[in-house]
Structure 1
Amino acid sequence: MGIAVVLFAIYFLNVFLGAVAGNQILKDVFEMLVLAASTLFFVIAILKSEAAAKKSKN
């Protein structure tokens, strides 16, 4: 989950700087890749969490 949070923070910082200061750190393609990686790590963390909860419940 930590990797997903860090990647999303990078994405958010890039969008925020683009909106406020008008300069982006990442280009569009890299921004998309960071968001996709963040989403992927988030989904993996949630699935692992659900599997652990299901295993401990049984």
Structure 2
Amino acid sequence: MLLALALLLFAIFGSNVILGSMGMGGFLGDVSEMLILLAASIIFVAAILKKEAAEKQSNKQQR
């Protein structure tokens, strides 16, 4: 769930960058673009930490 949200936010960021590089003008401003990328990064890290904690818990239960 968190990874899907991070992917969606990164896709929004990426599409804005692509549109801007093609000269069509991006739909996000500079600050909005930065906040979208920051949110995508934070959610991605949260997803990785959650997955790591679940793996650690499953390893602990196997012992």
Counterpart for residue 19 of structure 1: 21
State the TM-score, normalized to the length of structure 2. 0.88
Residue 42 (structure 1) aligned with residue 44 (structure 2): yes
Which stretches of structure 1, 4 residues or more, deviate above 2 A after TM superposition?
none
Gap runs ≥5 in structure 2 = none
Cα RMSD, aligned residues only: 0.8
State the TM-score, normalized to the length of structure 1. 0.95
What is the alpha-carbon distance in structure 2 between the residues aligned to residue 53 and residue 6 of structure 1?
Answer: 25
Gap runs ≥5 in structure 1 = none
